[in-house]
Amino acid sequence: MKILNHDIVLFTMIAISVLFSRGSTAQLSGEYSLGNPESDFKSFADAISALKSEGLGGDVTFNVVAGNYNNVSVIDVENPGNNNIEFVYYGPENDSAAIVGRLKVFRTAHVTFNNFTVYPSENQDYSCIWSDESPYFQLLSCNILNLFNNSFDYGEALIKIEYPWEGPYLVTNIDSCIIVSEQQTFYIGGNKGSTWFRHDTIYGGIVNKTLKNRFGQHRHYIDNVFYASDYDFEETGQSFHSNTFYYDGIYTFKLQGNVYFNTFYCNVNVRAGDIIGNVFNGSVELDWLNNADFYNNFVHGRFSSTFSHGIKIIGNHLYGNCDINNDNTVFGNNFVFDTVDFSHGPGQLIFHNNFSEEAYLEMNYTGGTIKNNNISNMNIWQPSVTTIENNNFIRLGHGNVSTYGSSAHFYDPLYLSDSILYASSPALIGKGGKKNSNFKYDIDSVLRKRPSTIGANEICFNWQLSDIEIKCSDSLRLDLCLDTLENMYWSPSSLFSDSTSTNPIIYPENSTMVYLMAAQGQKTDSLKIKVGSSAPIAMATFSNDGLLVSFENLSICADEYLWEFGDGEGSAEESPVHEYKEYGTYQCSLKVSNAIADDYFAMLIEIVSVDENQDLNNTIQIFPSPVTSDISIKSDVPFDEVSIYDSRGALVYNEFTGNTKDYRINLRYLGNGFYIIGLKTRKGVTYRKFTISG
């Protein structure tokens, strides 16, 4: 077709007119009102239509007035710059903006709904909130309620989140919400996504309904409170940190994933992951946990572990009966107050445990090593493969020890007179001396010396052995049972803080010779100490100045270190300093290694702004200093939770205080040394170091 010149001119003018008309409408940016005739946008539909037609020139906030809004949909809004699109209720506290029916967000990035009430219509059987392939969708401070107790169809729930099967990894954040449903609460599908639940209160029937075996999908539960009436948390790719779990009618609450620093007021079954720093007020069952860590937990009910290989049960307080039906279990540094029954498998390693005088150690047709423990009662029924050596048997008039094992080298201190206790193995003196002990009295009911030890520590010896072999991190107390060390001193001086002490404690890092010297410099006696390697123990703490965090490595027996700071960065330094890019909560982990084994330690890093942290420090008093028995806390800011950690990072006390400003804690059961106390307030968490000296 032939085009005339005037046609070309007309076509060009039309094109230019179209271009100018598109560019003449400014893209949306800044704050707008929404919800009534006087608002910038009368309805959600108007605002979303403008987002699609005019585009985004920056972050956009829609301040929504009070009222009921039906079936809100944010679909296919282009957001190439990842600008924030936030809808926030903007009105009096005694009113609300309610979305009734369905809130739907499809293929739209960085959408946030803040401070809304959302609930389905009566008899609605499809999801009330549905997010599908939407990068970084957020629900903040919302009430999400199944008011009419609706029952949802298969694949539907009160909240439904769909992730893609391929492509980029998406994130959903649900923070500070109240979520209530007697029926299906969550349904999370797809593969490429991560869902974060933070600071929520969740009342649920099926509180976590998800497609099975989605190995690319992860769910993180941090600092939530669950009032659950079902137990469907058995999914892969989960982690639980600092949550509180209550239950209604559940016999056992089932979890799968890593479980850190939670408090449970129900029986718990964990099928995969590491379990560190939790408080279990009911029973605990561990099933199929190969090579998992069960560290620094308080278990007030029954503890059982079955069908697991190589599990490490270390540093726990176990108040109820324990049934361990595994092979190659590492059971060490625990405080035990009831019967521990090993009923299956070879290769058990039981070391440095404190069994109370009422506790029993039972070994039923299972083999291994029992070494360097405080034991009152022990029964072993076993073919000749059990090694028993250097244990301190605390009879106290009613102990019972019966064994059919081999190599049973009992460490049973003997009294030479009414006041002098003699030991066949001085290496046990001071064993475990870097840890505090719940045992305040020794075999003869005399108050123990400090630091508390695994073995008896009023032992007097006269160098009866040519040499002693200890492990890395062990201490050794050299006790002559003399009032003064007259005209004598210890050498080398680098090992002794007081070279004239009659019962010094030394911490040899390498094999060495120890001498008892006369005042004129002659050697009067000597002792050769061999130091061998042992498995490492990972421990750490931290302090921060704003976003700059200094990590203090308290690990022992480690040669290599690997830190992961929780923000995608890491370090191989022993005690690194790391600067985070923004305030928030981070899951930090430390892996330590030597030629024998690896060990892990996890801790939650909570960083509040410098001003807020300074406010907390200025308004909180902790006294007396040092602490002798009770510690008192006074604060201008109410605090909800108190946690105390020992010098190696182990949780030794945890209590919910109920929004108080004045609190007192009896710490008579803790030994001397320094501790860290953490106070959790609504402004954040502050940590203080204090010392016990009694």
At residue 299, what is the residue type?
V
CB 120 within 8 A of CB 148: yes
Res. 396 pLDDT band, cuts 50 70 90: very low
Tell me if residue 549 falls in helix, strand or coil.
strand
Q: Is the bond leading into 624 cis (omega within 30 degrees of zero)?
A: yes
DSSP class of residue 44 equals H
CB 587 within 8 A of CB 239: yes
Mean pLDDT for the stretch of residues 315-334: 91
* C-beta neighbour count of 101 within 10 angstroms: 17
* C-beta neighbour count of 418 within 10 angstroms: 6
* C-beta neighbour count of 197 within 10 angstroms: 25
* C-beta neighbour count of 690 within 10 angstroms: 17
How far apart CA 640 and CA 375 sit, in angstroms, is 38
CB 118 within 8 A of CB 98: yes
Find the radius of gyration of the CA atoms of the chain.
32
pLDDT on residue 684: 63
Please check the confidence at residue 689 and state whether its pLDDT lies above 80: no
- Token pair of 236, please? 């892969």
Residue 339: alpha-carbon gap to chain centroid: 27
How far apart CA 108 and CA 87 sit, in angstroms, is 14
pLDDT on residue 613: 44
CB 427 within 8 A of CB 464: no
Mean pLDDT for the stretch of residues 13-17: 39
Domains of the chain (ranges plus CATH)? 413-532 (2.60.40), 540-607 (2.60.40.10), 616-692 (2.60.40.1930)
Task: List the 414-415 sheet strands across, edge first.
Answer: 414-415, 421-422, 459-460
Res. 235 pLDDT band, cuts 50 70 90: confident
pLDDT on residue 462: 61
- Token pair of 69, please? 């809004």
- In order of 239, 272, 421, the CA distances from 220 in angstroms are 5, 15, 55
CB 549 within 8 A of CB 603: no
Res. 207 pLDDT band, cuts 50 70 90: low
pLDDT on residue 477: 75
Share of the chain above pLDDT 70, in %: 78
Q: What is the mean pLDDT of the chain?
A: 80
- Token pair of 544, please? 């921060």
DSSP class of residue 26 equals P
Mean pLDDT for the stretch of residues 4-24: 41
Mean pLDDT for the stretch of residues 430-452: 49
- Token pair of 565, please? 């700071």
pLDDT on residue 423: 60
Mean pLDDT for the stretch of residues 104-114: 96
- Token pair of 217, please? 């999908």
pLDDT on residue 676: 76
pLDDT on residue 409: 54
Give the tens place of pLDDT for each residue, 542-553: 877 778 899 988
* C-beta neighbour count of 4 within 10 angstroms: 8
Give the tens place of pLDDT for each residue, 595-630: 777 887 877 776 755 444 444 455 678 888 788 878
pLDDT on residue 23: 41
CB 240 within 8 A of CB 219: no
DSSP class of residue 406 equals S
Count of residues in the chain: 694
The DSSP annotation for 576-607 comes to -EEE-SSSEEEEEEEEEE-SS-EEEEEEEEEE
CB 433 within 8 A of CB 455: no
456 against 301, higher pLDDT: 301
- In order of 394, 419, 424, 459, 484, the CA distances from 415 in angstroms are 14, 7, 11, 9, 22
How far apart CA 694 and CA 690 sit, in angstroms, is 13
Please check the confidence at residue 45 and state whether its pLDDT lies above 50: yes
Mean pLDDT for the stretch of residues 250-269: 86
CB 413 within 8 A of CB 421: yes
User: Of the given ranges (392-396, 443-447, 574-578, 661-665), which has the lowest mean pLDDT?
Assistant: 443-447
- The secondary structure element, H or E, covering residue 109 is none
CA angle (585 as vertex; 209, 242 as ends), nearest 5: 55
Give the tens place of pLDDT for each residue, 58-80: 999 999 999 999 999 999 999 99
At residue 652, what is the residue type?
V
